[in-house]
Amino acid sequence: MSSPKESLDKTPTGRNRLKLVAAVLTFLGLCLFAYFVYAVGFWEIVDGIAKFGVAGFGVILAIYFIRICMRAFAWRLSVHPPFILGIKDTIPAVVIGEALSSTIPLGILISGTSKAVAVRRRIPLVAGLSSVATENLFYSFITGLFLIAGAFVLLFGFSVDPSLSTLLYAMVATLTVATVLGIAMVVREWHFASWLCNRAYENGILTHLLENGRREVRRFEDLIYGFYRVYPRRFVPICLLEAAFHALGVVEAWFVIWSLGETVPRLQTAFLLESVSRLVIILFKLIPFNIGVDEAGAELMGSAIALGVGVGVTMAIIRKGRILFWAAVGMLLIAKRGLRLGELSVPASQVSNK
């Protein structure tokens, strides 16, 4: 009979299961990508990309750089004094985080940590992690409002099937509840994460990891909640910067549609396509570059709002080129700084030692 330790060693970890799920989803995404390229027509997509041109690609690269700057400024404002980060620190770190998030199937698990690691010579790691988490809370709040707005634009601006209408109302209700709970958690200072860690430790779960880790999680929460108590005047500027990030995404979508089409598109159309793209990014973050699912979402939404055939797929592929470019820049920054993947995924239990 095997010992408990041996049984534990043979049990697949959560991360291994996630890797398997990511691999399966990536394969399905590739299949979906191939299908939509075939359905729309390879040469039609090539013609659309050629029509967009190098100049057009340069424009969306510039737009995305400004979007990166918006989040970099928001993160800079989220740093808890006495620690300070300059924009020269946060912009490269955001590019690194976005690169890992886009290219690695489990990149979402280390993209935030990688930002903090990238600036660890400027501020302590725990302060970097808490500032990243604070900025992410603001980003999540604004993203939730953005998705709710997109759902209402589709519901009241276009004719949709009853089944889709029901799904949209359910999404709005879910996002609204999540947003309210998130605000309540911060305002009431619910130490939910540290409570879970303490309960797990008391029940003998991950005791080695949580021996010191649960205290660091509590310290981490205190830093975040302390920011909200001490610096309320930063709330509006950070929210505006996060909103600008999404607004520029709408501008980018509008520019791509305008470049591919014969007429000037409505702002509603670009707003919907960007909101669908953002939703796809959230739901299918395990798939590198959102391969296949981004094209599917853009084409299905394009068909629903009477956009030209193939415009949605072509737009998604063009924007994927933009993601590839900035991911390459991020990888170059990682190599230049001599960072390793192991460094970019520091366990919470080791934060106090860094």
Q: How confident is the model at residue 290 (pLDDT cuts 50, 70, 90)?
A: confident
Q: Write the pLDDT tens digit of every residue in 25-42.
A: 788 888 888 888 888 788
Q: How confident is the model at residue 71 (pLDDT cuts 50, 70, 90)?
A: very high
CA distances from 209 to 16, 48, 96, 226 (A): 18, 52, 27, 25
Share of the chain above pLDDT 90, in %: 27
Can you read off the two tokens belonging to residue 3? Answer: 């010992």
Q: Can you tell me the mean pLDDT for 154-158?
A: 82
> How many Cβ atoms sit within 10 Å of the Cβ of residue 249?
22
The answer to whether the CB of 277 falls within 8 A of the CB of 317 is no
Of the listed ranges 35-49, 54-68, 114-128, 300-314, the one predicted with least confidence: 300-314
Structure letter (DSSP) for residue 161: -
The structural domains of the chain, with segments of one domain joined by +, span 13-353
Tell me which of 337 and 273 has the higher pLDDT: 273
Residue 23 pLDDT: 79
Residue 18 pLDDT: 67
Q: Which residues of 202-213 are buried (b: 16+ CB within 10 A; e: fewer)?
A: eeeeeeebbeeb
> How many Cβ atoms sit within 10 Å of the Cβ of residue 221?
20
Q: Can you tell me the mean pLDDT for 326-340?
A: 86
The answer to whether the CB of 105 falls within 8 A of the CB of 287 is yes
Average pLDDT value for the chain: 82
The answer to whether the CB of 274 falls within 8 A of the CB of 253 is yes
Residue 136 confidence (pLDDT) above 60: yes
Long-range contacts of 67-70, Cβ-Cβ distance < 8 Å, separation of 24 or more: 67/244, 67/245, 67/248, 67/249, 67/252, 68/94, 68/95, 68/98, 68/326, 70/241, 70/242, 70/244, 70/245, 70/248
Residue 342 pLDDT: 62
HSE toward the beta carbon, residue 75, CA cutoff 13 A: 31
**Which pTM was predicted?**
0.82
Q: For residue 212, which amino acid is it?
A: N
**Would you call 80 exposed, middle or buried from its count of C-beta atoms within 10 A (0-12, 13-18, 19+)?**
middle
**Cα 335 from chain centre:** 22
The answer to whether the CB of 343 falls within 8 A of the CB of 305 is no
Q: Can you tell me the mean pLDDT for 329-338?
A: 87
How far apart, in whole angstroms, are the C-alpha atoms of residue 250 and residue 239?
A: 17
Query: What backbone phi and psi angles, to 5 degrees, belong to 9?
Result: -65, -30
Residue 15 pLDDT: 61
Q: Write the pLDDT tens digit of every residue in 93-112.
A: 999 998 888 887 666 667 88
Residue 308 confidence (pLDDT) above 80: no
Residue 192 pLDDT: 76
How far apart, in whole angstroms, are the C-alpha atoms of residue 43 and residue 4?
A: 59
Residue 20 pLDDT: 78
Q: How confident is the model at residue 329 (pLDDT cuts 50, 70, 90)?
A: very high
Residue 279 pLDDT: 87
How far apart, in whole angstroms, are the C-alpha atoms of residue 261 and residue 253?
A: 12
Q: Can you tell me the mean pLDDT for 72-97?
A: 92
Phi-psi region of 352 (alpha: psi -120 to 50; beta: other; left: phi over 0): alpha
3 state DSSP class of 107: helix
The answer to whether the CB of 57 falls within 8 A of the CB of 320 is no
Share of the chain above pLDDT 70, in %: 88
How far apart, in whole angstroms, are the C-alpha atoms of residue 251 and residue 138?
A: 21
Residue 352 pLDDT: 44
Which residue is it, tokens 């900035």?
Answer: 326
Sequence-distant (6+) residues with CB within 8 A of 212 are 349, 352
Residue 66 pLDDT: 97
Q: Can you tell me the mean pLDDT for 174-203?
A: 81
DSSP E strands, the chain = none
Q: Write the pLDDT tens digit of every residue in 219-277.
A: 777 777 777 778 888 889 999 999 999 999 999 999 999 998 767 788 888 998 899 88
Sequence-distant (6+) residues with CB within 8 A of 341 are 110
